Amino acid sequence: MGRTLIYIVLLAVLGIGVYFFVFKDKDAFSGNTSNFKIEDTASIGKIFLADKAGNTILVERTDKGWILNKQYPALPGSVEVILETLKRQTTSYPVPKSAYDNVIRELAGHGVKVEVYNKNGDKIRVFYVTGQVANANGSYMLMDGADQPYVVVIPGMDGYVASRYSTQMNDWRDRNVFDVPQEKLKQVKVEYPQEPLNSFTFVQESLGKFNVIIDPSLKTGNPFNERRATVYSKYFANANSEGYINGTPGLDTLVTPATKRVALDVTSTDNKTTHVDIYWMPINRRSKNMLSPAPGVPPKYDADRFYAVVDGNKDTIVVQSITFEKMFRRGMEFYMPDENQELKFDIPKGSGDVIRGTKKK
């Protein structure tokens, strides 16, 4: 009986030891200092990011969508990525003692501070993130006020978590240039500095009723092409840039000497006008037409991209020809029939590259 009692006591002691060395550690590992995940991202009202260089990003949920730094619409894709990251990021293991000092220095010198608030403005998470774990996809995170940093991963993601917490404005700004659907389009003014007779003003006089004002010296007996006008009126909804190049070193030497391709003024029914000057981009290593010339594009220019300056140097961007070139119509095109037949209009001398009619074959 006495020996049995001794065995029972030993088992109890072992059990307590297992609890403290296994389960107790597990509880600490899953506690507040290591729980970087936020399951209910729908409750998030705003996210603030700040780095040691002084860059700050604030994205806030509003009735009009997510707003960046209280000024710009936020890029929907970037917001979706950071919300997904907060929902899925998982603590993998605590940083070992052998790497502790280096990781703390990395967090102190290069870490991004992340503050997450709910819709009531209450702080629900504050942590620091940095770096890439050697030979792994994890990044280092440290909860504000804690001493123990952790390696955090996104299960199944090939990449590291810290890259998703960018503090660069260009990674967060919505890239929309024009977002005027047909029913809200009032007027489009298109000016060609090198070919003024191709310039025109496109007007929606009433919903679905269009007019195109061209140079009076271009006379034609052809009727107005309603179908082309209807199609053209739809080009200004959700027209996006490739990206911002504000702050690029030597930007003035890139854009200022370039030849202006066209100027666009797009006005909505609420009388808001966006002015965009579009410039040819000099040919470069990315230019596909270095090897194969593109029709209608001078050989010294890129065929796929243009520089663009929005609202008098408010922003400088890169736009793709596949999105914007369809806006670069010429006034006479709206007085051409869809079928290829003889056009009857006078072409004054010095008209440049005015669209000319051809005879039906």
Helix (H, G, I), strand (E, B) or coil at 242: coil
Q: Compare 201 and 299 and report the one with higher pLDDT.
A: 201
Q: Compare 309 and 337 and report the one with higher pLDDT.
A: 309
pLDDT tens for each residue of 109-162: 999 999 999 999 999 999 999 988 887 789 999 999 999 999 999 998 887 899
In this prediction, residue 228 has a pLDDT band, given cuts at 50, 70 and 90, of very high
Phi, psi of 72 (to 5 degrees): -120, 150
> What was the pLDDT predicted at 286?
78
Q: H or E stretch including 275?
A: strand 273-282
Q: Residues 6 or more apart from 116 whose CB is under 8 A from it?
A: 38, 44, 46, 47, 48, 86, 123, 124, 125, 126
Given a cut of 80, whether residue 220 has pLDDT beyond it is no
pLDDT tens for each residue of 54-84: 999 999 999 999 999 999 999 999 999 999 9
What own/partner pairs with CB < 8 Å and gap ≥ 24 does 75-81 have?
75/171, 75/172, 75/173, 75/174, 75/175, 76/174, 78/166, 78/171, 78/172, 81/164
Q: Residues 6 or more apart from 115 whose CB is under 8 A from it?
A: 47, 48, 49, 123, 125, 126
> What was the pLDDT predicted at 359?
40
Q: Can you tell me the mean pLDDT for 6-27?
A: 44
CA distances from 132 to 5, 54, 93, 127, 308 (A): 53, 22, 14, 16, 36
Cβ atoms of 194 and 279 within 8 Å: the answer is no
Given a cut of 70, whether residue 18 has pLDDT beyond it is no
The conformation of residue 157, written as its DSSP 8-state character, comes to: -
Cβ atoms of 166 and 183 within 8 Å: the answer is no
> What was the pLDDT predicted at 217?
86
> What was the pLDDT predicted at 251?
81
> What was the pLDDT predicted at 258?
83
As a whole number of angstroms, the distance between CA 80 and CA 83 comes to 5
pLDDT tens for each residue of 162-211: 999 999 998 999 999 999 999 999 999 999 999 999 999 999 999 999 99
Q: Can you tell me the mean pLDDT for 268-290?
A: 89
pTM for the structure as a whole: 0.76
Given a cut of 70, whether residue 23 has pLDDT beyond it is no
As a whole number of angstroms, the distance between CA 333 and CA 351 comes to 15
Question: Pick from 280, 281, 304, 282: which is nearest to 292 by CA?
Answer: 304
CA distances from 253 to 112, 258, 279, 281, 299 (A): 34, 9, 13, 12, 20
